[in-house]
């Protein structure tokens, strides 16, 4: 960005920050260890970062009791539940398999980072195994784990993420309808969209 002097090398960063502590290196595993499995299985939410020719994407994924399945200590299966059909993450994966994931656990300051590669499959048996409320996912993402590790809890602590005293009243922030109305220069019916959204979501959750 104009006006700011950039750091231009990894060596500069290393001089600025110094060496990582022993724990920062020791925690990294190349597979899902028993303790990391406990963390993952407690998480109902993660973000999925992907890369493609058009750029980067980071998508939220959440579900109670079925967000993903650990197939073995190197493999995770993720059902692609119903969304907005933009398929940004899936389109990236079929062209560039590299992925990164960040798992959150409500109430815990510990987050889990996972890096690896992925494929998209429509294997019928796998789709059927993720059926919920009579609906199957359209595809399943299979992740091969390359590294997994805990992330320092300071970010969650600084954010007060799980402290109700710091939770935002939804009435104080724009709605999805407000944003759509702004993007359409006032032509979009934001009131109807926001009023009906909860009902639409409940009917199309899976």
Dihedral sign, Cα of residue 28, residue 31, residue 36, residue 41:
positive
Tens of pLDDT, residues 147-175: 999 998 999 999 999 999 999 999 999 99
Distance of alpha carbon 153 from alpha carbon 109, whole angstroms:
5
CATH 2.30.110.10 domain span(s) along the chain: 25-161
The residues of the chain scoring below 50 in pLDDT are: none
The pTM (predicted TM-score) of the whole model is: 0.92
Q: Which CATH number fits domain 25-161: 3.30.230.70, 3.40.920.10, 3.90.180.10, 2.30.110.10?
A: 2.30.110.10
**Residue length of the chain:** 206
Q: Which residues pair with 46 in a beta bridge?
A: 61, 103
């Amino acid at each position: 960005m104009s006006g700011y002097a950039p750091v231009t090398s990894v060596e500069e960063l290393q001089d600025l920050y110094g060496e990582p502590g022993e724990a920062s290196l020791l925690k990294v595993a190349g597979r899902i260890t028993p303790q990391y499995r406990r963390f993952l299985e407690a998480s109902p939410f993660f973000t999925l970062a992907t890369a493609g020719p058009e750029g980067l994407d980071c998508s939220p994924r959440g579900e109670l009791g079925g967000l993903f399945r650990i197939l073995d200590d190197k493999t995770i299966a993720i059902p692609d539940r119903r969304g907005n059909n933009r398929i940004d993450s899936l389109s990236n994966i079929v062209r560039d398999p590299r992925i990164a994931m960040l798992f959150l656990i409500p109430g815990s300051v510990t987050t889990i980072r996972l890096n690896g590669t992925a494929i998209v499959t429509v294997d019928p048996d796998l789709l059927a195994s993720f059926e919920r409320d009579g609906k199957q996912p359209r595809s399943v993402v299979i992740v091969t784990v390359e590294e997994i590790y805990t992330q320092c809890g300071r970010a969650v602590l600084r954010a007060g993420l799980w402290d109700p005293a710091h939770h935002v009243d939804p009435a104080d922030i724009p709605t999805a309808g407000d944003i759509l109305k702004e993007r359409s220069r006032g032509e979009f019916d934001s009131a109807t969209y926001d009023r009906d959204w909860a009902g639409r979501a409940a009917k199309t959750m899976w």
